[in-house]
Amino acid sequence: MGGNTPHCPFLLAMAGRSREKKQAAGAAIVRRAAKIIIEGGVPLQGTIRIKGAKNAALPILAATLLTDKEVALKEVPPLEDIKTMSLLLRQLGVEIHCDEQNNERYFVYAHRLHSFTAPPGPVRCMRASFLVAGPLLARLGRVRISRPGGCAIGTRPIDLHLKGLTAMGADFSLEDGFIMLEARRLRGEQIYLDYPSVGATENIMMAACLAEGTTVIENAAAEPEVVDLANFLNSLGARVFGAGTSVIRVEGVNALAGSSYTVIPDRIEAGTFMLAAAITGGSVLLQNVLPQHLKPLMAKLKETGMRVETPEGDKVLVEAPQRPQAVDIQTLPYPGFPTDLQPQAMAFLSTAQGASVITETVFEKRFRHVEELCRMGADIYV
């Protein structure tokens, strides 16, 4: 999209969705060049199937570096970040193919890694690229990687990643602007994270799979994407226990096997469409969801007067029978209200009766959309 595109949460959310989803939702959207034109006032109606979670697929793709056996992945969302990670892996020597009949199915074969240097291009343009550091260090004994690129919503330091990897025996140095980590073989260690960082938890957990001995990560992130990564690692033969709690234990093994694995549904995409149904006064049935991952949002929607039902185990129905009532929201690490749904929730609460208070505790620049919502008539101040 063009550089002058407003930061409207629902405009941005709808931009990347498929034509099928747009037609199912009933939204009148026309794309021309760098513009997206939305004709509002239409309640969203229909059924939508949620894609696989990007934030689960990216670390899982990085984790394929830990094994020299083939891995088949299903429900990988067709997004630019996935293409970026695929490019990075190919430049390291990984054979990675997307199924021609199904662009959400990937085959990954990392049996001939020819480089321990992560290409700086992908790393600097996508922060998730730094997740290859732990697997490369564990598999090859060394990794050379640049600092990851900046983040528009706030700072995301990598000190916790480095703290965990050096605690496990890696030697750390800076070399011509690159981070260099070396260890003949990592050793298990007890690591306490000052903050439950998702990326640091994932990087340390992946590296620990091939370390000697047992690694314990305390104050670990408990997000569903961390659990999905742990489940994938265990499908390869790793021994990861406690994912989803604040303490994760990893018993190192000598080698990992291949597997076939399905990525969990994207709770942020699901939440975005739930809020889209509510803000338009519509009725939308979401398929391929895990309702337990959406409990914070479901609770808040019910507080506003929206109808939220789970007719089946993998479905959620959202209906808006009335104008919403104001509620207060505070973003927190999982299982709290997700920061990635805060902009959409703010757009929704701009239509509510009464004043809502939204407190952002995760990213210091996560209110950049306020100005654009105010231009559209919202009454918001920071």
Which positions are annotated as active-site residues? 151
CA–CA dist 29, 37 (Å, integer): 6
- Alpha-helix residue ranges (DSSP H) falling in 280-314: 295-303
Question: Helix or strand or coil: residue 5?
Answer: coil
CA–CA dist 349, 304 (Å, integer): 9
Geometric angle at alpha carbon 146, from 143 and 150, rounded to 5° = 140
Q: Say which residues have a Cβ less than 8 Å from residue 353's Cβ, sequence separation at least 6.
A: 323, 324, 325, 326
- The per-type count for the chain, helices as H runs and strands as E runs, is 13, 19
Cβ(97)–Cβ(120) below 8 Å = no
- Alpha-helix residue ranges (DSSP H) falling in 95-216: 120-125, 133-140, 159-167, 198-208
Question: Helix or strand or coil: residue 148?
Answer: coil
Cβ(138)–Cβ(181) below 8 Å = no
CB atoms within 10 A of CB 332: 15
130 closest CA partner among 65, 68, 62: 62
CA–CA dist 92, 118 (Å, integer): 7
CA–CA dist 348, 251 (Å, integer): 45
Token reading at 210? 């091939």
Token reading at 306? 């929206």
CA–CA dist 276, 286 (Å, integer): 12
Cβ(74)–Cβ(109) below 8 Å = no
CA–CA dist 267, 264 (Å, integer): 9
